Amino acid sequence: MGAVPWFCGANQHSFKTVNPGTAPDAPGDSPDLLHTINNLKRVPFGTVPTMAETSCPAKKQTLLSPWRRRSQWSATLLLLLTPWFRIDGNSLLRIDIPALTLHFFGQLLRIEELYLVLIFSLILTMGFLLMTMVLGRIWCGWLCPQTTLTDLAEWMATRLGLRGLKHSRKKLLGQKLALQLSFLLLALLVSANLLWYFITPQLFFAQLFSGQLHFSAWIFLLVFTAVIYSDLALVRRLLCRDFCPYGRFQTSLSDQTTLTLHLPESERERCIECNSCVRVCPMEIDIRQGYQIECINCGRCLDACRQVMSNRNQPGLIGYSFGTTGHGAKALLNPRTLLLSLATLVLLIILMFAIYYRPAASLKVSVSHTAASRILNDGNQATFFNAWINNRSREQATYRLKARQTGTNIRLTLKGQTDQIELEAGENSRVDFVLVTPAPENQLGVEFILMDRNGVELAIAEAYIKELQGY
Ligand code: SF4
Ligand code: SF4
């Protein structure tokens, strides 16, 4: 085997040579997973094909492209359909801005509980980093909505005969207009889909057809439609190549264990220089030159090479490999990957505990800013309070408020609607009440307790009553 080009972490545009004797080029060196992927459509080397294979060999092969398309469409469908799903009447995933609540897989998280979402976001980020370290830019090639939209835009252009074919000017104009209209409709669908993560699709269509869609929703729709239309019509792969922050960021995560496509040195002599692998590459790179940061691991070059070589009854030359160190998937057992996996797992456990032990209700209490405290005829002090109660459960609940002052025998009396407080699932409601106490000297600390109908304490809030001056 010859020298295998590889990239180094500090400068991804430069290459270095690793021990040529350890490159996993021989089939026996590949781990099971890679062996399976790399041989999905491989025509056994040296076998004598039958007439059917000779006349149409490409049809005998299993390509990666259908699997990539399935993966892209599954991710797209998931994004499209998620806003339509509900758990116990609540959206699966939606930000309710007026209620400052996040609908999160059956849980209703108020803004004060966003630490849970932060932990979840951190887990997602770390999982994403881990995926990039192990599988490179597989997200870009196989799942990213931007790639799917670009593929769709290119497919539309091909279907309308606007890619690679010459037409009369008049015919071309009509096709171009049809293409731009398709882009506009697609952009409108995508921006509406984004909006459904804030307004339920059912409410969106009801308001749209009754002419009651809020102007902020219209602005959202128009702005995002314009942005996505520009992306489809003008930007496309340029975003992946030059602007996407993830694409830039992943270069510092890839190392000599990351999954990449490459043409092994041992196979170079079989290359017939047909350039098929270069022509199909959406990122316009030549994988024969070694790994390049623009590569999105889509596998098109691998398919192209397999098809070309199958016509010669030979296996393709390009393959996936976890780096070129010859350790295969075992190369993943390195401190960086293991530490990140462990940290992700720990965060996941913390999140599960935080959700499991999350209180069923929350209580916030503060002295009213609109109703002034006063001294009553009997010498007691009346202090006006506002309480905010949030029912975090998925069921309607009835609550009761109680006041207590630990360590003293001071009599505390609550007046107002502090009993039989009924809240729907997820509802956040304000309750106004009055606390009557002996007039304090300086200030008095009081605890307010929120209880369910069985007297179980659910939440506690503290407040201070101040001595009134001038009485
Ligand atoms: S080099 Fe191959 S895997 Fe990488 S982007 Fe181009 S076609 Fe896709
Ligand atoms: S498709 Fe295969 S044979 Fe053709 S140029 Fe690329 S690597 Fe060589």
Segment 240-256 mean pLDDT: 79
Which atom of ligand 2 is nearest to 275's Cα? 5
Residue nearest atom 6 of ligand 2, based on CA coordinates: 277
Q: Do residue 181 and residue 295 come from a single domain?
A: yes
Query: Which string of DSSP letters, residue by residue, matches 223-275?
Result: HHHHHHHHIIIIITHHIIIII-HHHHHGGGT--TTSEEEE--GGGGGG-----
pLDDT category, 100, cuts 50, 70, 90? confident
Q: Do residue 407 and residue 330 come from a single domain?
A: no
Q: Do residue 289 and residue 429 come from a single domain?
A: no
Question: Which segment of 25-29, 292-296, 437-441 scores lowest on mean pLDDT?
Answer: 25-29
3-state secondary structure of 443: strand
- CA end-to-end distance (rounded Å), the chain: 96
Domain containing 445 equals 361-466
pLDDT at 439 over 80: yes
Q: Do residue 338 and residue 376 come from a single domain?
A: no
Rounded to 10 degrees, what is the CA torsion of 156, 160, 165, 171?
-150
pLDDT at 427 over 60: yes
| Helix 169-195 × helix 215-230 angle, to 10° | 140
Which domain-ending residue is among 315, 349, 383?
349
Q: Do residue 307 and residue 267 come from a single domain?
A: yes
Segment 456-460 mean pLDDT: 92
**Ligand 1 within 6 A of CB of 283:** yes
In a domain, 355, yes or no: no
pLDDT category, 331, cuts 50, 70, 90? low
Maximum mean pLDDT: which of 195-204, 249-258, 263-272: 195-204
Tens digit of pLDDT for each residue in 274-300? 999 999 999 999 999 988 888 899 999
pLDDT at 353 over 60: yes
Q: Do residue 370 and residue 340 come from a single domain?
A: no
Which domain-ending residue is among 293, 325, 349?
349
Residue 406 is predicted with a pLDDT of 72
In a domain, 166, yes or no: yes
Segment 360-385 mean pLDDT: 88
Contact 258, 251 (CB under 8 A): no
In a domain, 432, yes or no: yes
pLDDT at 150 over 50: yes
- If one counts the domains in the chain, the total is 2
- Our CA angle for 233, 237, 242, nearest 5°, is 120
Q: Do residue 208 and residue 277 come from a single domain?
A: yes
68 is written with which tokens? 């990539």
Give the single-character DSSP code of 20: G
Q: Do residue 336 and residue 418 come from a single domain?
A: no
pLDDT category, 410, cuts 50, 70, 90? confident
Q: How far is the CA of 179 from the centre of ligand 1 (A)?
A: 26
Closest ligand to residue 306's CA = 2
Give the contacts of 203 (CB within 8 A, at least 6 positions apart): none
Ligand 2 pocket mutation, candidates 265, 271, 301, criterion most atoms within 8 A of CB: 271
pLDDT category, 60, cuts 50, 70, 90? low
Which of 324, 464, 404 minimizes the C-alpha distance to 22? Answer: 324
